[in-house]
Homo-oligomer: A and B are copies of this chain.
């Protein structure tokens, strides 16, 4: 867990993390993931029942990095009641008329809820920075703004885990190629993705800035080697399960005496 956490005070370098890293046996790791799925299911039920904590999971990655795959494989089995996915695509005109955190705040988890952000406010210092969609003097203030915003959420009871699913340029090429060749996956391919791909070095620089400046004690970033999907899923699930265990959740006690209640005033047959 610590292995992949970005130190809040270090000079993090993205090139120190190998995207194709993976330890352990593939089949065994997949078995372990199944056990983690089960535990996550149980922890999420407690989260919902206890109605005390709020949990926010943020997923960021380059195209094909595996955000959808993580949502599918890590969260399959959890009760859709109490788990919500919020996707942040290109902002609408209405959203652009507001500050960039406006639409994000609306999707923040409530008590008992686990919300997964598929992309997030981090796009406002990633795609926005790479394409200079707003002037640098505007977006460069956002790292601190984001830290302040996330601190408020945390102080108000939100547990935040942020994951950067790290793949490399070769892996993206193979995954794009697969989307092109598989008729059931072509809908996921957007020719514009190739334009973004050409800006890979600029994106890596923008991600490095994000990871250095916004990995905090209250909202840490984890950089997950993601070329190997089985390893990626296992790492994300492990970190989430450990984090949720740390909340020491309990099913709430009844605020009445269950033994004093008789339904219809008679004992059951």
Chain A residues engaging chain B, CB cutoff 8 angstroms? 49-50, 68, 71-72, 75-85, 87, 116, 118, 173-174, 176-177, 180-181, 183-189, 191, 194, 197, 251-254, 256, 258, 261, 263-264, 268
Contacts and interface: CB of A to CB of B under 8 A. Distances in A.
6 contacts: A81-B118, A180-B261, A180-B263, A184-B251, A185-B251, A197-B264
A176 B263 contact: yes
Given A187-B254, A191-B261, A71 B79 contact: yes
Contacts of A173: 263-264, 268
Nearest to A170: B269
A79 B84 contact: no
A47 to B, nearest CB: 12
Contacts of A177: 263, 268
A181 B267 CA distance: 13
Contacts of A263: 173, 176-177, 180, 194, 197
A85 B81 contact: yes
A189 B84 contact: no
A181 B258 contact: yes
Given A77-B76, A116-B80, A268-B177, A258 B186 contact: yes
How many copies of the polypeptide does the oligomer hold?
2
A252 B185 CA distance: 9
A114 to B, nearest CB: 9
Given A49-B187, A186-B252, 4 more contacts: A49-B188, A81-B118, A184-B251, A185-B251
Contacts of A68: 79, 81
Nearest to A189: B254
Contacts of A187: 49-50, 251-252, 254
Nearest to A193: B263
Contact of A183 (B77, B81, B183, B251): B251
A189 B260 CA distance: 13
B186 A251 contact: yes
Contacts of A72: 79, 81
A87 B113 CA distance: 13
A81 B253 CA distance: 33
Nearest to A177: B268
A251 B254 CA distance: 49
Contacts of A79: 68, 71-72, 76
Contact of A84 (B84, B180, B184): B84
A254 B185 CA distance: 9
A180 B81 contact: no
A178 to B, nearest CB: 10
